[in-house]
Amino acid sequence: VTVEHGRERRCLSRKGIAYRISREFHDGDIVNLGTGIPSLCADFVDPDQEVLLHAEQGLLGFGRGARTKAEVDPCLINAARQPVTPRPGMCLMDHAESFALIRGGRIDISVLGALQVSVDGDLANCWLPGAPAGSLGGAQDLAFRARRVIAALPLLGPAGRFVARLTLTATAPRCVGQIVTDVAVIELAGGAAVVTELLDGWTEADLRDLTEVALTSPPGGPARLGVPDDRVELWTTVRTEVPA
């Protein structure tokens, strides 16, 4: 074990992961944001880009989250039950139409929270281990039909989140193309996991202690995972406790 136990170091906060994911959005993209970390991405979309954010209950083209109570409209919320703000060009639709948009393949990027992801891109995010019931929400529709699925998957904390084979019930097979973690960005393709970006202060060896998956890196090694240094909300510290 090369991760030094009991040592504090910086890693991305939930907002930091959301920030990094939002760098994947480009002008013209239709992006669905799931609940949890994904819903935080709305606050980091580049305002100069026309990225159409989609909430599964039937809202397309909304803006950042409401900041003050004066901005709150109880009838303008995201899929995570949080008030959001309107943007020019925003449109509303009912649930059937909203999922026609998803099932019909119009979503360029689906950002989903995950309990577990396998190296093959299998996703588990609907059934907690041992729970008597699950919650599918719109995750299955999105995971099956979005053009690209990005999973927000913190690796520090409970072990067993990025695995060789799912141990939890699958939401959808072979759907996740990229995972953004609290220390690295990992691309999944053809059964391989390539660490494309790594946070300063972390090594590839550290990362190998956080997952059973055989990791590879591009020639020359991973790029630096760039998140603005001076934005404190994007960072947190962790005291690494990795099981031997």
Partner 1 sequence: MINKVVATAAEALSDVQDGAVVAVGGFAGPGGIPTTLIKALADRNLRDLTVISNDCGRGKEFFDRLRGEYDAHDDVDGRLPVPPEFYPVGYLIDLGQVRKAITSFASQMRTSARGPLETLAEKGSVEIELVGQGTLAERLRAARAGIAAFYTPVGAGTLTSVGKDVRYFDGVPHVLEHALRPDLAIIAAYRADRFGNLVYRGTARTINPVMAGSARVTVAEVEEIVPLGALDPERIVTPGPYVDRVVCA
Q: Which residues bind partner 1 (CB under 8 A)?
A: 39, 55-59, 65-69, 71-77, 79-83, 92-96, 98-99, 102-103, 127-128, 131-141, 144-145, 169-173
Q: In terms of C-beta density within 10 A (0-12 exposed, 13-18 middle, 19 or more buried), how is residue 127 classed?
A: middle
Radius of gyration over alpha carbons of the chain, in Å?
A: 18
Query: What is the closest distance, in whole angstroms, from the C-beta atom of residue 115 to partner 1 in the complex?
Result: 9
The pair of three-digit structure tokens given for residue 235, joined into one six-digit string: 């960072």
Distance CA 157, CA 222 (A): 23
Task: For the CB of residue 226, give the shortest distance to partner 1 in the complex, in Å.
Answer: 26
Please say which residue, 141 or 197, places its beta carbon nearer to partner 1: 141
Q: For residue 49, what are the contacts with CB-CB under 8 A and spacing of at least 6? A: 25, 26, 27
- Report, in Å, the least distance between residue 14 CB and partner 1: 12
Cα gap 90→59, rounded to integer Å: 7
Looking at beta carbons only, is 127 or 209 nearer to partner 1? Answer: 127
d(CA 56, CA 79) in angstroms, rounded, equals: 6
Task: Supply the minimum distance, in Å, between the C-beta of residue 16 and partner 1.
Answer: 17
d(CA 31, CA 78): 13
Q: What is the DSSP letter of 146?
A: S
Q: Specify the residue, 133 or 244, whose C-beta has the smaller distance to partner 1.
A: 133
Distance of CA 227 to the CA centre of its chain: 15
Give the nearer residue to partner 1 in terms of CB position, either 159 or 194.
159
The Cα–Cα gap between 146 and 140 comes to 10
Q: Cβ-count burial of 149 within 10 angstroms (0-12 exposed, 13-18 middle, 19+ buried)? A: buried
Q: Catalytic: 56? A: yes
Q: Tell me which of 8, 56, 187, 197 is the catalytic residue.
A: 56
Our CB check for partner 1 shows the closer of 5 and 147 to be 147
162 φ/ψ angles, rounded to the nearest 5 degrees: -115, 110
| Shortest CB 170 distance to partner 1, Å | 6
Q: Would you please indicate which residues are annotated as catalytic (active-site) residues?
A: 56
